[in-house]
Amino acid sequence: MPAYQFTAVDSIGKQHKGVLEGDSARQIRQQLRDKSWMPVLVEPLEESKTSEGGKRFFQKGLSAYDLALVTRQLSVLIAAGIPLEETLRSVARQTEKRHVQSLLLSVRAKVMEGHSLAQGFRQAGKFPPLYIATIAAGEKSGHLDLILNQLADYTENRFAMQKKIQGAMIYPVLLMLMSFAIVMGLMTYVVPDIVKVFANTKQALPFITRALMAMSDFIRAAWPFLLVGTIAFVVVLIRFVRTEPGRYALDRLTLRLPLFAKLSKGINSARFASTLSILTQSGVPLVEALHIGAAVSSNWLIRDAVQQAAVKVTEGGALATQLERSGYFPPMMVQMIRSGEASGELDSMLARAANMQDREVTTLISTLLALLEPLMLIFMAGIVLTIVMAVMLPIVNMNNLV
């Protein structure tokens, strides 16, 4: 039974939006009239029509939390032996987010039409390639419940790492913003009032005091231009990075900076190993798994290296050798993959490599975030010390003259 999204108005003029299932749009309108609602818009979920304002209606994508929650619920219900269409309906009713409900009901409509679950997810256009390929492999092998359980563990681990990073970044970001605001306040309002007492004296001011006074005058006079220039620079930079040459330039620069290079290689290696592990364990062919693993890479240079490795593997080359030649993957991970290829246990070795890389990345991120807080405090203390010295040195010199 297809699903339709609707917009209706009740008797007091309040607008309602939602999703209903029915054989036709006419039946949906009748259901709305039975509720004493006036139908305004009724359309199938898979269509995107132009609204009255001229804007197109797009469904929101699934967040990491929504994807992990939906996957776990699907895994539990399918393992309990509940039919697939009933499982999708139950999970859709369970969520409180309308766009997630609409997405799941549109997938259910495709399943009711005779499509597989993977095809329904693919036509929905909101699920990652890893997700679709894994479910397709589970349907082919007849172990969809086990595959969904593995996929649920994978998505939950990814979501937990993402939340850990976001939570750890809150304090450093707030500290950075507060430091910037305090420094700008000191330079704009406090410093001019303090150092202006030295402006009319014939005493030669120290260099640090003169530099601070000049910087303060410049900031007070040019802050609108600085603000506009900063915003314009950020906008131009973002637009440039979104282009293909800009993205390659950014990724190339990232891999040349020592600390950022290690972090980027670590994150992409962990993501690649985890993706390849779950795909090979699900029965996806290695070459197809490599292409999907390349697609989930956030660094385009590493993505191209994995795609080139997939081509060489198709020609009969060894995966470990190609990854080692790229220079983007840790030697321990390459050695574990080589051992897995030699022993015929590549999927298990990939799982171990993925766990090892996840631990290393988590440790590295935790260390960097732990160092960021004292570094920000030292930076702030240095700026305050510079301002204090610029103010105190002329006073000390005046006392020496007296």
Q: CATH code at 144?
A: 1.20.81.30
Whether residue 100 sits in one domain with residue 16:
no
Sheet holding 15-21, edge to edge: 15-21, 3-9, 38-44
- The beta strand positions in 211-255, using DSSP E, are none
Averages of pLDDT over runs of 10 residues in the chain (402 residues) are: 73 75 75 81 58 39 81 88 87 82 83 84 80 80 79 81 75 78 76 68 74 81 86 94 92 89 87 84 84 84 92 90 90 91 87 86 81 80 82 72 52
38 and 8 Cβ atoms separated by less than 8 Å: yes
Whether residue 224 sits in one domain with residue 136:
no
Q: How many domains does the chain have?
A: 3
Whether residue 106 sits in one domain with residue 7:
no
Q: Which of residues 118, 138, 157 is at a domain's end?
A: 157
* Alpha helix ranges (H) inside 242-314: 244-256, 258-281, 286-295, 300-314
Task: State pTM to two decimals.
Answer: 0.67
Whether residue 359 sits in one domain with residue 224:
yes
Q: What is the tens place of the pLDDT at every residue in 242-276?
A: 899 999 999 999 999 888 888 889 888 888 888 88
Whether residue 292 sits in one domain with residue 226:
yes
How far apart CA 264 and CA 353 sit, in angstroms, is 17
Q: Does 57 fall in a domain? A: no
Q: What is the tens place of the pLDDT at every residue in 272-285?
A: 888 888 888 878 88
DSSP-based helix, strand, coil % in the chain, nearest 5: 75, 5, 20
Q: Does 353 fall in a domain? A: yes
Identify the pLDDT of residue 304: 92
Whether residue 265 sits in one domain with residue 123:
no
Q: Which of residues 139, 157, 175 is at a domain's end?
A: 157
Residue span of the structural domain in which 115 resides: 64-157
Identify the pLDDT of residue 280: 84
> Burial letters for 203-224: b for 16+ Cβ neighbours within 10 Å, e otherwise?
eebbeebeebbeebeebeeeee
